[in-house]
Structure 1
């Protein structure tokens, strides 16, 4: 059995966590086994599911909050456990912290995969400087270089390394996000949305996802249609700022903060349009899930790259386009029909984003 130590799971059910989980639960676990190393002592996303699959979950303190404790715990972990693993697979949004790779090398894990899931800095200036410093040294510690998209590869790796980078598709389970009319009716009744045009956004409440811009658009949209409601599914550091902006713009009757939700199919089915104005992404799971539901989408060119624009009821705009152009696109596309499930399945299989077709490809990369 090929044993892999995985880093990348956090307390948040986000894109990386969903990506890892979607693949691993479909792997032949008699041949490939995952254990997880996490920099939190809290319960992580999918922890119960992972334990049911037979995975061990090891936890160390956060470097940013408890640096001395973190270094002691992580060194102890690798010294004690490294010999049990054939490979370490590090899934991250930046190279600010590569301790996991350094210690994996020091303690003899022969294969060390670094996997890029983002295309721009989403942290402070110090972490950005650390990213670019480690970018020049990553070949000293990693043996394999992966990315979720060409854009994510370019952000992570020096140009001379790009020919070696393998693109791993963020494939999704279409059954998990399939349109469900009963769920749509139930959620719309619960939140009094029956007679509204519902614009939805799913993602961390963070400047990267650009929900501030979405609220500016909403202020203009309700002038055209006062029955519009905007729903944010997710949580994050910008929630207070966004709620303050809702109050300042007098949008309280038009905005719902739904928090973190597990039933992604139900919420996508509730929406009439998916608004995705991110400032940057790697290759976003949320954009693929919305397409898997068949939803009409209006997105920024930074949110959904061309290779992940699979359906034809999708408008891609520049964030430099004016508010009027964005609002016109939203009003136009919100009245388009959903794509039917058979066409969705064909589109996803054609471009390699359907999970069952993608699983053996990734399995083979671990078995090579």
Structure 2
């Protein structure tokens, strides 16, 4: 039996949540039945390329400096599909989705689109193009019920829209205390310090300026608390300025982009998110799998993952200042901190494992190919 050839199309392969899922899912896909190809367009955002290639993926960059030039690559993508006899195209995020729909219109190769964000959060032009083109594909997947409902409410699509919750590779994302100690040493953090962390692209919805303000309140009362923020992004200069204004240069450590975040999760005791909106953040699921206690706003899909007081502690999006008090509860009660660390891991393993997500994707791919054969 020939392998089903799946082509993933995504704008970049930098360290974003959607991008990071690709090598993680590839590691546990049934490669005896499926062959995976990847096309991306921003050559300077290639942090995930080596991980994909090491896992057996075939990666190609069709360089495009802006979104219009990205769409103009559709004929090259069509040629790629014909040359490599691609059976399924799986697109991630809007502009890759728009291109995939152009290819679908020309070739009728089944196209699956995964939506990671709420429609309300997109630029009006992106929303309009999404509405106009959405039915020119086979199936859409929302990464949370919030995202799926947003698609239905804003687009009212005629194609099927299903929810497929994101997952974390709970087999590989396991806490390693030795690695945590090593990272603390490298970052000049004392071995017995409590660490509050975050892993994020530096975009406005992550509210990292507010994150630093919350941390300042915590640190003022608790001198042996440190912060670690892993990531980079367009708001980096603004965030660093706030770090300096708050005089936190010695207490919050910025690591930049990291291909392997597991050592940093191993150093964190509390994973704190101050987001104003989310789909279903991969970093949250990875942190939970790594036994980080979660303190977060209830943005988007986060409230589908965290059951307040059971798997973590949450506050309303507009009440982000309460995050400092929630962290203080765990600082003052080490037993509760340990309890929520274990609960986070248990929740990730039982309800958000990547294996569950991959099995569902393979069923979807197989069904679409079978439907095409029948036609």
Distance 1:80 1:314 in 2: 46
Structure 1 residues not aligned, in runs of 5+: none
Structure 2 residues not aligned, in runs of 5+: 368-375
Q: Which residue of 2 aligns with 1:261?
A: 258
Distance 1:253 1:228 in 2: 11
Q: Which residue of 2 aligns with 1:314?
A: 312
Q: Which residue of 2 aligns with 1:238?
A: 235
Give the 5 Å matches for 1:179-198.
179-194=175-190, 195-198=192-195
Q: Which residue of 1 aligns with 2:361?
A: 362
Residues 1:343 and 1:245: Cα distance change in structure 2 (over 3 Å): closer
Residues 1:106 and 1:138: Cα distance change in structure 2 (over 3 Å): closer
Distance 1:53 1:258 in 2: 26
Give the 5 Å matches for 1:65-84.
67=68, 70=70, 72-79=72-79, 81-82=81-82, 84=85
Give the 5 Å matches for 1:341-352.
346-351=346-351
How far has the Cα of 1:215 moved from its partner?
1.1
| Aligned-partner SS, 2:172 | helix
Distance 1:104 1:349 in 2: 37
Distance 2:96 2:81 in 1: 20
How far has the Cα of 1:50 moved from its partner?
2.6
How far has the Cα of 1:307 moved from its partner?
2.2
Give the 5 Å matches for 1:33-72.
33-42=35-44, 44-62=46-64, 64=66, 67=68, 70=70, 72=72
Give the 5 Å matches for 1:268-283.
268-283=265-280
Contact map agreement 1:60 1:74 (CA 8 A) in 2: no
Contact map agreement 1:231 1:257 (CA 8 A) in 2: yes
Q: Which residue of 2 aligns with 1:91?
A: 92
How far has the Cα of 1:43 moved from its partner?
6.3
Q: Which residue of 2 aligns with 1:328?
A: 325
Distance 1:31 1:318 in 2: 44
Q: Which residue of 1 aligns with 2:34?
A: 32
Q: When the two structures are superposed, what TM-score results if normalisation uses the length of structure 1? A: 0.87
Count of residue pairs the alignment pairs up: 358
How far has the Cα of 1:302 moved from its partner?
0.3
Q: Which residue of 1 aligns with 2:372?
A: none
Contact map agreement 2:40 2:60 (CA 8 A) in 1: yes
Distance 1:182 1:141 in 2: 50
Residues 1:346 and 1:291: Cα distance change in structure 2 (over 3 Å): closer
Q: When the two structures are superposed, what TM-score results if normalisation uses the length of structure 2? A: 0.85
Contact map agreement 1:200 1:232 (CA 8 A) in 2: yes
| Aligned-partner SS, 1:137 | helix
Q: Which residue of 1 aligns with 2:106?
A: 107
Per-residue CA deviation, residues 142-199 of structure 1 (Å, 9 max, x unaligned), is: 1111111111223344464399311112111113221111112211122221243321
Aligned-residue CA RMSD in angstroms?
Answer: 2.7
